[in-house]
Amino acid sequence: MTTNDDQLLPPEGVLSLQRPAGHEAINMFGDVYGGWVASQAVLASEIRAGQEADGRVATVSVGRMSFMSPVLQGTILSFYTEVLERGTSSLRIKVEVWGRCPDGREPRKVTQVECVQVAIDGHGHIRTLP
């Protein structure tokens, strides 16, 4: 985990999901495990993609994540999404994850990831974006 200037800049994108990291998200050391944060980031990407696609989407790829700081139980995580690329049927979306610790410190950037979502119809077939 490294601290860098990204933690000092404001979040980029639209707030798509916000939730507390509760007891279900912690590992044996009392920190929130990365897999839980990653699953919530993908959910935020799906929410944004569903809005852009006016309907059902499927995740086709999830990029690499590196954590800049640990996430403690009780941290309020905010997931900001930005559409980086729009194809005929797919969207590449950046998700920035920001956390506000239970002690009230200023929010800090925790991690970011890029996801690719594809629009699908009711039968699970790829469809064109509106």
Report d(CA 89, CA 127) in Å as an integer: 6
Domain boundaries, the chain: 5-119
pLDDT of residue 68: 92
Name the CATH architecture for the domain at 5-119: Roll (3.10)
Place of tokens 């039968």: 123
Token representation of residue 49: 């993609």
Res 6: pLDDT: 63
pLDDT on residue 5: 60
pLDDT value of position 7: 58
Q: Give pLDDT, residue 29.
A: 86
Tokens of 109: 């950037």
* Full-model pTM: 0.90
> How far is it, in rounded angstroms, from Cα 18 to Cα 76?
7
Average pLDDT by stretches of 10, the chain with 130 residues: 62 96 90 95 98 98 93 94 98 97 86 98 96
Tell me what pLDDT residue 101 has. Answer: 87
Q: Which residues pair with 78 in a beta bridge?
A: 18, 98
